[in-house]
Amino acid sequence: MKRILKWVGIVLGVLVLCVVGFLAYVNFSGMPKFDAHVPTITVESTPARLVRGKTLVLTLCAECHRNPITKKLTGYQMLDLPEEFGTAYSKNITKHPTKGIGGWSDGEIIWLLRTGIHPKTGLYVPPWMVKLPNAADEDLYSIVAFLRSDDPLVAAEDVDNIPPKPSFLAKFLVTVGAFKPYPYPTKTIAMPDTTNRVEHGRYLANGVFACYACHSGDFKTMNELEPEKSGDFYAGGNQTMNAARVLVPTPNLTPDKEAGIGNWTEEEFVQTMKTGFKKDGRSLSAPMGAYWHLSDYELGSIYQYIKTVPAIKKPRIPATEVALSANATNGEKLYNKYGCVSCHATTGLGYGDLQLADKKYPTDSLLADVILHPRTYYPLTTMREWAGHIPDNDLKEIVTHVRTLSKKSGR
């Protein structure tokens, strides 16, 4: 009996050492590397591709890569990344030859977007970078054409990339294959028939913009290669994060008439998506932006497709409120009420930079007009046009609070 217990103890000890050794390996080895088989592709730039590419980059890339200070795609902290995954920064994807992607081949860009494997280092880029395993080849070519263009958004900028600090959990999930690269397609992926609105909408919602990823039940049950197999497909509940670092569960977009959007018309859906305001006048919750740069036909096609997914009666979970101090000013309360905090954070430096408001907007009337008509000043912004949605008295209080954020920053 003693001999048996002795051997059991030895076996358990070896197992413990193996587990500890594996965990130490995960912690100190960093992200795993994979072989890169970069395709030989040369993309021709055409006017149509530049227009389409800009739309795709603004929708898929700009919100994470556009730096509020440089106003270019020079990279920025991923504010919507849950803390348990560590700290990450999007990369400089301007045309700078060494710090951006100006020295990359067209095939290298497409390889990364398809697989998630860095073509030069072999490192796997974790799932918070948009990947396009199901997008049509033509849309990939359009993205490349725009990134090569003379648009100011991608003009070469000498900005260093900040190394990520992945948590142990992130490294562990990649090491065990929970997060893993996607296979490069073995055949051409064609554009859908855009006259078939349901098929067109399915392609846009699932293959390009990945609406299902946020609007399904959980990132852990998301299936990027076969989106329809994602848990609670389009029924919402997934925990997204805004710039204020609070959780925002996504709404139900299935055709359920009580919990979803079964009572919405196509026009109501399109206007909500383009303006960022629901049909009852309430603002959509960040990180959801205003998709004014998509056409009515594209957004309407997404609506027509969503009407065909199975209805699920799953009520929305209330979003977490940003905690206010007992001595919060009325302006700070309104800054929270209207959702400014969800994009600009409590400090004023979130997806947009409010910390330079005093220098950039010397008069209150100018700052107020920027809030009401942001696209007049920043044509590419996804900020909502607040004209008609904020009463004058509330707007004055918000302007006063924004100026306090500017002063506190010391910039």
Query: Cα–Cα distance between 25 and 172 in angstroms, integer?
Result: 10
Query: Cα–Cα distance between 393 and 372 in angstroms, integer?
Result: 13
Query: Cα–Cα distance between 256 and 302 in angstroms, integer?
Result: 16
Q: Which domain-ending residue is among 175, 205, 230?
A: 175
Q: What is the pLDDT of residue 380?
A: 83
Task: Check residue 236 and give left, alpha or beta (phi > 0: left; psi -120 to 50: alpha).
Answer: left
Residues spanned by the domain of 358 = 330-409
The half-sphere exposure of 238 on its side-chain side, counting CA atoms within 13 A, is 26
CA–CA distance from 201 to each of 56, 250, 385 (Å)?
A: 15, 20, 26
Q: Is 263 domain-assigned?
A: yes
Based on the domain organization, do 170 and 54 belong to the same domain? yes
Angle at 204 between CA 64 and CA 282, to 5 degrees: 65
Based on the domain organization, do 168 and 208 belong to the same domain? no
Q: Is 191 domain-assigned?
A: no
Q: Is 322 domain-assigned?
A: no
Residue among 344, 328, 300 nearest 200 (CA): 300
Q: What is the pLDDT of residue 409?
A: 83
Quote the DSSP letter at residue 410.
T
Q: Is 204 domain-assigned?
A: yes
Q: Which domain-ending residue is among 175, 205, 239?
A: 175
Q: Is 41 domain-assigned?
A: no
Structural contact between residues 155 and 95, judged by C-beta atoms closer than 8 angstroms: yes
CB atoms within 10 A of CB 3: 7
Based on the domain organization, do 338 and 369 belong to the same domain? yes
Based on the domain organization, do 277 and 361 belong to the same domain? no
Based on the domain organization, do 74 and 148 belong to the same domain? yes
Q: Is 314 domain-assigned?
A: no
Q: What H or E segment, with its residue span, contains residue 239?
A: strand 239-241
CA–CA distance from 220 to each of 103, 120, 383 (Å)?
A: 35, 29, 29
At 249, phi and psi to the nearest 5?
Answer: -65, 140
Q: Is 190 domain-assigned?
A: no
Q: What is the pLDDT of residue 178?
A: 60
The enclosing domain of 53 has a CATH number of 1.10.760
pTM of the model: 0.86
Based on the domain organization, do 89 and 146 belong to the same domain? yes
CA–CA distance from 307 to each of 135, 152, 194, 340, 364 (Å)?
A: 22, 38, 17, 31, 45
Q: What is the pLDDT of residue 17?
A: 46
Based on the domain organization, do 56 and 170 belong to the same domain? yes
| Count of structural domains, the chain | 3
Judged by DSSP in three states, 42 sits in coil
Based on the domain organization, do 221 and 276 belong to the same domain? yes
Q: What is the pLDDT of residue 169?
A: 65
At 26, phi and psi to the nearest 5?
Answer: -60, -45
Based on the domain organization, do 55 and 89 belong to the same domain? yes
Q: Which domain-ending residue is among 175, 206, 231?
A: 175
Based on the domain organization, do 72 and 164 belong to the same domain? yes
Structural contact between residues 251 and 238, judged by C-beta atoms closer than 8 angstroms: no
Query: Cα–Cα distance between 34 and 314 in angstroms, integer?
Result: 40
Q: Is 188 domain-assigned?
A: no
Based on the domain organization, do 60 and 169 belong to the same domain? yes
Based on the domain organization, do 392 and 335 belong to the same domain? yes
Digitized pLDDT (tens) for each residue of the chain, 411 residues in all? 555 544 444 444 544 444 444 444 454 456 678 889 999 999 999 999 999 999 999 999 988 899 988 989 999 887 767 677 778 889 999 999 999 999 999 999 999 999 999 999 998 887 677 899 999 999 999 999 999 999 999 999 999 998 888 776 666 666 665 668 899 999 999 999 999 999 999 999 999 999 999 999 988 888 888 999 999 999 999 888 888 888 889 999 999 999 999 999 999 999 999 999 998 888 988 888 889 889 999 999 999 999 999 999 998 888 777 888 889 999 999 999 999 998 899 999 888 889 988 889 999 999 999 999 999 998 888 889 999 999 999 999 999 999 999 888 887
